[in-house]
Amino acid sequence: MALLFLLFSAIAAAQDSTLPDGSQTRWVVEEPQEIVAYVAFDPVTVKRELPPRLRFVELREIAMSGIPWAIDYLAKHPAEGDWGISFFEIVRFGTFTIDGRAPHWPKGGAAALWFARVVSSDPAVNLGPGRPYLALEFLMPDKAYVAYMRKKGYYAGFGHVKLLQESDGTWQGMVKAAGLSVTAACIPAGGVIGGAGSAGAQEIFPPLSFSVENIVRVAFTGHREQDCGSGSSLEIRGDHALADGTALEPMVFEYGYSLSGGTYPE
């Protein structure tokens, strides 16, 4: 699973983990805990959300770069070379604030997000210092805070989302939103990847249907990750595009990092 971590989170120290000047808002995250699933998806199901300046990263090109998991996946699913790759996560926070304001979290309250890997549709255009993603979903259980996020230029929607740890150490996640129902269980196992020296940066583009065109840039440090071991599970149901995707195994449990971010005009 280390290769997936390198592909998505860029643990390499060479990745720029500082934010540029000019942020219009300030986003702070501390001590998150999250179940993460990497999901292959048919881009046709979300093509209406793709801005013209972007294109989805295809499984075919990842495999052609020599990444073993992508080679193995396409060997089993040869017709899906033009599919995209994304991550879906259920995450709860020690701290989550935008310009100093935090959501109202119900007991076990968490957020759920679905981000897809993208690149510029014009190879000559540099999108910026971070790894680029398209936000396909960002669900919060606080309607007032969803409105606040959207006013601040962050893409968000309402959903019932929870993440709780059982007495045996199992993390249980749940999402209920329009057209989408997710249940997840993760039992962290094995060695820990990352640590104090890990760092990365990302650029998050809003979906085309979102009226605000700000880019969200984030930088993080201290990222840690473990595989979800035997007994872990994920079930995604509904008519949401995410439910048409294929989750790769294993899921992972990520935790412990600090993240800062903000909105920037394109």
Which range marks the domain in which residue 10 is found?
A: 2-264
- Give the pair of three-digit tokens for residue 240: 């949401």
Residue spans of alpha helices (H) in the chain: 2-9, 59-64, 68-76, 143-151
pLDDT at 12 over 60: no
Instruction: Please say whether the beta carbons of 114 and 86 come within 8 A.
Output: yes
CATH code at position 252: 2.40.400.10
- Name the CA radius of gyration of the chain, rounded: 17
* Entry pTM: 0.92
pLDDT tens for 186-208 read 999 999 999 888 889 999 999 99
Out of 2-16, 41-55, 121-135, 196-210, the most confident range is 41-55
The pLDDT assigned to 250 comes to 92
**CA dist., res. 21 & res. 217, Å (int):** 11
Instruction: Please say whether the beta carbons of 213 and 3 come within 8 A.
Output: no
Beta strand spans in 70-198 (E): 84-92, 95-98, 111-120, 131-140, 157-158, 160-165, 171-177, 180-186, 188-194
Beta bridge partners of 193: 225
Locus of tokens 């249907």: 209
Q: Among candidates 80, 46, 58, 7, which has minimal Cα distance to 243?
A: 46
pLDDT tens for 86-136 read 999 999 999 999 999 999 999 999 999 999 999 999 999 989 888 999 999
The SS3 assignment for 68 reads helix
Cβ neighbour number for residue 103 with a 10 Å cutoff: 20
- Mean residue pLDDT of the chain comes to 91
The pLDDT assigned to 18 comes to 75
- Region 157-175: mean pLDDT is 97
**CA dist., res. 39 & res. 83, Å (int):** 10
Instruction: Please say whether the beta carbons of 186 and 233 come within 8 A.
Output: no
Dihedral of CA atoms 149, 150, 154, 160 in degrees, nearest 10, equals 60
pLDDT tens for 208-248 read 999 877 899 999 999 999 999 999 999 999 999 999 999 99
Q: Among candidates 225, 245, 203, which has minimal Cα distance to 86?
A: 245
Q: Among candidates 194, 202, 193, which has minimal Cα distance to 116?
A: 202
Number of domains in the chain: 1
